[in-house]
Structure 1
Amino acid sequence: MPASADELVALLDLETLDDDLFRGRQPDTSLQRVFGGQVAAQALLAAARTTDPAYVAHSLHSYFLRPGDTSVPIIYDVERLRDGRSFGTRRVAARQHGRPIYFLTANFQRAEDGFEHQDAMPDVIPPEEGIDLGAMFRARGSGNTEEWEREWAALDVRSVGTSRSGLPEDPARPARARLWIRVNGELSDDPLQHLAAFTYASDMTLLGSTLVPHGVHVTSPGMQVASLDHSVWFHRPFRADAWWLYDQESPSASGGRGLALARVFTQDGVLAATVAQEGLIRHRG
């Protein structure tokens, strides 16, 4: 996986094959399947490449269909569904070996003024006081510390706490997790680069929140964990290389699936995005 911000930017850059047809590269990785955030970010960029730059992505909705093969590139086929005066819509099929592995629908909007309100950011410790995820793996006695540091070095992630440890008690919401995250390096001033880098990172920790009440982690023995779908609403511009709070909670787990919702706040309290994901959280004991 990318070991720096520059490598992340290079990974998310696409090769144009033909009109509305792109190819995404693969990173050097030991993962057995393509990371969901990678294919989501590359698909978003493919959609944006076919859209007037005056229109900015405001939402994406997607489904993961099959595990991606990390040994071959991914082909992104963009369908132009609509180009209106205010909104444009694109559908993207990501394919490998002639079969779809992921579908994304993204909507883009021309900037306009309107009503404004937002939730207040929760009171949390600053990122500098959060626990580095590598240190947290070591504290758990997990054997995944070296893998984390090798595969995810492009991201700086600090845990604030969960509903089991570190967050105020709230019996009405038993599955909560908060983290500070940023790209570990400096990105350009291109807003699309920040949206893509954030989309890449947004898939990394959500399903962990669905397991908080159950005393297991995504890397616990016997766990089979996979993203099934992923949605993002982009509310306001922000930088993915500056700290953002990932305020995650899981309102429900049932049938081998867990639902995670997250609010994304900048360090100065701006609600920048909202994310939703359902995933497989199957324990084979």
Structure 2
Amino acid sequence: MTSVNDLLNLLVLEKISETEFNGISKTIGSPIVFGGQVLAQAINAASRTINNNRVLHSMHSYFLEAGNLELPITYNVSIVRDGGSFSVRRVTAHQKERTIFILSASFHKKEAGYNHQIEIKSNIKQPEELLGWTDILEQSGDFLPKSMKAFLEIERPVEFKPTVVVNPFDKKDLPPFSDVWFKLKGDAKNLDLATKQQILTYISDYNILGSTLNPHASKAHWGNTQTASLDHSMWYFRDFDFDDWLLYSMESPSTSSARGFARGNIFTRDGKLVASVAQEGLMRPISK
């Protein structure tokens, strides 16, 4: 995938019935289905059963089994409730007889109310000052570990620019924080809010577990640690556009019992808080 159009072709599911949809998978460099893809496809399925103009405001999900890239994924939507203000949907994802994922999503009618938000970090480097993943591959590809180089060589519809580029050979512990700018490749204008939320959900599964590994970087890395998303929750606050860079600001309050917990906030460049994310992931040291 090289552009937003490729991503949309992946996320918009084939309709089988009013509550059943099929999706395909594309690799991001892992031998299993990317969690962000399943999240976004499930949101696409749930959204297509909403006929009252309500807007997605939160979702909560669990990854139950690794997805097979070669098999289609079937999403079944249960219409749990359509109340006076909120609509709730439950989505179950299957491959053959296996349930690989479950998600609950809530949609809210548009209402006026109080408004406040936390502020974006001050004095943070702007994307024009930073190297993207593509730049890092071009400038340092021959010196990177093979697994990292192979990951960066995968073509993606999103460009990422971390505010700090970590040297993989510099074995020292780091603060449990990470800030990454991101931007879609291609023309992302004139997208409706539901589509933008699905794309944002897809992107939200990138980078977030990195903050859980940072405090252990002197001894732990992606090559000697088994990692996998266990659950993922997201709250959507305000409308936004993909015509400029957005900032994903992440932190990890805790890692214990072979699990790492991380949370993040997504801002527009001018500081509007768009969404918040929370995820716990497996962080199991691999025994030699």
Deviates more, 1:38-47 or 1:50-59: 50-59
Residue 35 of structure 1 deviates from its aligned partner by: 0.2
Pair 1:30–1:156, CA change in 2 (3 A):
closer
Helix, strand or coil for the counterpart of 1:161? coil
Whether 1:31 and 2:23 are equivalent positions in the alignment is no
Pick one of 137, 157, 169 that aligns with 1:154: 157
Structure 1 partner of 2:8:
9
Pair 1:136–1:258, CA change in 2 (3 A):
farther
Provide the TM-score with structure 2 as the length reference: 0.89
| Paired positions, count | 276
Residue 19 of structure 1 deviates from its aligned partner by: 2.1
Pair 1:132–1:219, CA change in 2 (3 A):
farther
Pick one of 264, 278, 281 that aligns with 2:280: 278
1:14 and 1:212 map into 2 onto residues whose CA distance is: 36
Q: Percent identity?
A: 39
| Long gaps (5+) in structure 1 | 166-172
Residue 243 of structure 1 deviates from its aligned partner by: 1.2
2:90 and 2:114 map into 1 onto residues whose CA distance is: 28
Pick one of 214, 217, 233 that aligns with 2:216: 214
8 Å CA contact 1:198–1:240 kept in 2: the answer is no
Per-residue Cα deviation, 1:34-82 (whole angstroms, up to 9, x for no partner): 0000000000010000012510100010000000010011000000001
Pick one of 261, 264, 281 that aligns with 2:263: 261
Structure 2 partner of 1:141:
144
8 Å CA contact 1:24–1:73 kept in 2: the answer is yes
Per-residue Cα deviation, 1:108-164 (whole angstroms, up to 9, x for no partner): 01111100000011021111112212444637722233432324x2111000128x8
2:179 and 2:215 map into 1 onto residues whose CA distance is: 14
**Amino acid paired to 2:4:** A
Provide the TM-score with structure 1 as the length reference: 0.90
Deviates more, 1:232-241 or 1:195-204: 232-241
1:200 and 1:5 map into 2 onto residues whose CA distance is: 12
Alignment root-mean-square deviation, CA: 2.2
1:247 and 1:68 map into 2 onto residues whose CA distance is: 28
Residue 29 of structure 1 deviates from its aligned partner by: 6.2
Helix, strand or coil for the counterpart of 2:32? coil
Structure 2 partner of 1:170:
none
Structure 2 partner of 1:168:
none
